[in-house]
Amino acid sequence: GAGVSQSPRYKVAKRGQDVALRCDPISGHVSLFWYQQALGQGPEFLTYFQNEAQLDKSGLPSDRFFAERPEGSVSTLKIQRTQQEDSAVYLCASRQGVNSPLHFGNGTRLTVT
Amino acid sequence: AQSVTQLDSHVSVSEGTPVLLRCNYSSSYSPSLFWYVQHPNKGLQLLLKYTSAATLVKGINGFEAEFKKSETSFHLTKPSAHMSDAAEYFCVAFSGNTGKLIFGQGTTLQVKP
């Protein structure tokens, strides 16, 4: 596609519910990143994939957060038993190679009530 | 560890006057540095990047940034602000191992008519 696509654009979840956020990277982009952006803050790194391999998940805040990219293309970020502190914009980004710029999607705004 | 500090959380200028957004980085080696812009409800857009080829980097929309190793700075400038420049600006460092980006806290640029 023309850019990184994320869905849904907005998600409201009740505390305790599970959510799944989808990212469609730019076709052919090897690397995929997930970031969490709290209100008024800069994006914080969550996890990184190279093709289907998750090479860095050091930024995932707890074991309730899980990300996958089974075929090296689309990725899903899953949050189990959502808490209010999970409310944030979740950004996905992809790039073609290590020295290429990151292209960001518009994000999914998650609100946990 | 790599880190990025944006010295101003909020900058206000009048249309037609110069813009200066300040950024300092902390790195044990010569970093790759970027400036991204985020308009409300939009994705992050790359303005410019420094990768050691030249210390003065020109970006889109008339922005430029100068890498000063002696000052560990990478300030963003524009000679004449336009109303459409009002947005959130992020100074970003590239962390070499996985290539993940480390974001500063952001600077909100307000442009007054």
Domain range annotation of chain B: 3-112
Q: What is the number of alpha carbons within 13 Å of residue A88 lying toward its C-beta?
A: 22
Residue B47 buriedness (CB in 10 A; 0-12 / 13-18 / 19+):
buried
Q: The domain B3-112 is classified under which CATH number: 3.40.50.2300, 1.10.3720.10, 3.30.70.100, 2.60.40.10?
A: 2.60.40.10
pLDDT at A93: 95
Contacts of B45 in chain A (CB under 8 A): 104
- In this predicted structure, the answer to whether residue B86 has a pLDDT above a threshold of 80 is yes
pLDDT at A102: 87
CA distance A92 to A21: 10
Contacts of B106 in chain A (CB under 8 A): 40-42
Q: What are phi and psi of B35, to 5 degrees?
A: -120, 130
- In this predicted structure, the answer to whether residue B32 has a pLDDT above a threshold of 90 is no
Most confident of B26-35, B64-73, B92-101: B64-73
CB nearest A101 (choices: B42, B46, B104): B46
pLDDT one-digit tens code per residue, A79-103: 999 999 999 999 999 998 877 888 9
Report chain B residues touching chain A, CB-CB < 8 A. Answer: 34, 36, 41-46, 49, 51, 90, 97-106
Residues in chain A where the model's pLDDT stays below 70: 1
How many angstroms separate the most distant Cα atoms in chain B? 44
Distance from CA of A56 to the nearest CA of B (A): 7
pLDDT one-digit tens code per residue, B38-59: 998 778 999 999 877 788 999 9
pLDDT at B98: 66
Which domain does A24 fall in, by range?
A: 5-112
pLDDT at B29: 65
For chain B, the average pLDDT equals 90
Where residue B94 falls among pLDDT bands split at 50, 70, 90? confident
CATH number of the domain that A90 lies in? 2.60.40.10
| Closest Cα in chain B to A5 | B43
CA distance B15 to A72: 45
- Number of structural domains in chain A: 1
| Closest Cα in chain A to B49 | A101
| Closest Cα in chain B to A92 | B43
% of chain A beyond a pLDDT of 70:
99
CB pair distance less than 8 Å for A43 and B103: yes
